[in-house]
Amino acid sequence: MFLYIIRRLVQMVPLVIGITFISFLIIQLAPGDYLDKLKMNPQISKETLEELRKAYGLDKPLLVQYFYWLLNALKFDLGYSFSYHVPVLELIRERIGNTLFLSITSGIMAWLLAVPLGIWAALNPNRWVDKFIQLFSFTFMSIPNFFLAFLLLFVAVKTGLLPTGGATSPNYEQLSMTEKILDRLWHVSLPAFVLAIGSLAGLVRLVRSAMIESLQSEYVLFARAKGLPEKEVIYKHALRNALNPFITLLGFEIASLLSGAALIEIIVNWPGMGMLMLDAVLSQDLYLVMGGLYIGAIMLIIGNLIADILLAKLDPRVRQREIEGVLR
């Protein structure tokens, strides 16, 4: 398992370099830069602009800029934000916790509901329960997350049942630890529900189809022929094998939650990475954009690594293939 993890980590290095280089190239291809906006200010001289350009390294060729940025990024020195005039890492550190909290909460909600609903539908194929769950799944798969967010935000404004912005209440610091936890969960409920519904709709269908296929397999028929209890057949044999593909899907689910969270954060005014990245892109804040993409790429890769490790733990065939690959 140790060699398996090392091999995966080594494979991640060119992936991070490729993601960041393409992102850096696309950002630089956009016309102008942050300093071009300062040219409109008559109080800023051309000499000052040139000094700023040299200070930020924008006077160097593109490849040289990327090379210096990459060397510093490997040490987690992501440079200074043009707009905020503070280290990029400090800005990301302030926001990334909220984005992770939102993504993890919505992911847990989606999986905790998708697995039992998918199993329930698979155990009752073509019955009213199955048809109702499929109707629910198709309905919410066809509704865009941003539209659902607007609807729930409208309901929250009209009813006042849910908060419509921010991650905490104004009196958060005066609350007890239990009250702080409840306050955070109350504020995250609306955006987390929107993200969870979007993931849940697709996951339910996948769990249902995988479980139906697993229940019809030979090893399940053999387990039933041996006289094993039905619960043991379903949860120990059928479910364990049906969930193998979903462990692989977990890594991509992390990526989709993070990317989907950015848009939802902007709509519901959640203080996460989404608003920060939008401001950075609009103001052409190069190092802030690159810092956000760099951290996002690392999180995506870590998510896929966790999924690979879990899959290798659950499926001996994966471990065997990796051992054979290392021996070669």
Find the DSSP H helices in 30-61.
Answer: 34-38, 46-55
Q: What is the distance, to the nearest Å, from the Cα of residue 149 to the centroid of all Cα atoms in its chain?
A: 17
Give the C-alpha distances (Å, rounded to integers) separating 295 from 20, 74, 148, 277, 285. Answer: 10, 11, 28, 12, 16
Q: Residues 307, 251: contact at Cβ < 8 Å?
A: yes
CA–chain centroid gap for 308, Å, is 17
What tens digit of pLDDT does each residue of 128-154 get?
888 898 888 888 888 888 888 888 888
What φ, ψ does residue 231 adopt, rounded to 5°?
-65, -40
What angle, 0 to 180 degrees and rounded to 10, lies between the N-to-C axes of helices 273-282 and 286-314?
A: 140
Name the helix (H) or strand (E) containing 184: helix 177-215
The pLDDT score that the predictor gives to residue 4 is 67
Question: What pLDDT sits at residue 322?
Answer: 57
Residue bearing tokens 């630890």: 177
* DSSP state, residue 32: S
The residues of the chain scoring below 50 in pLDDT are none
- Res 258: pLDDT: 62
211-250 per-position pLDDT tens digit = 888 887 777 777 778 777 877 778 777 777 777 667 666 6
Q: Could you count the other beta carbons within 10 Å of the beta carbon of residue 171?
A: 9
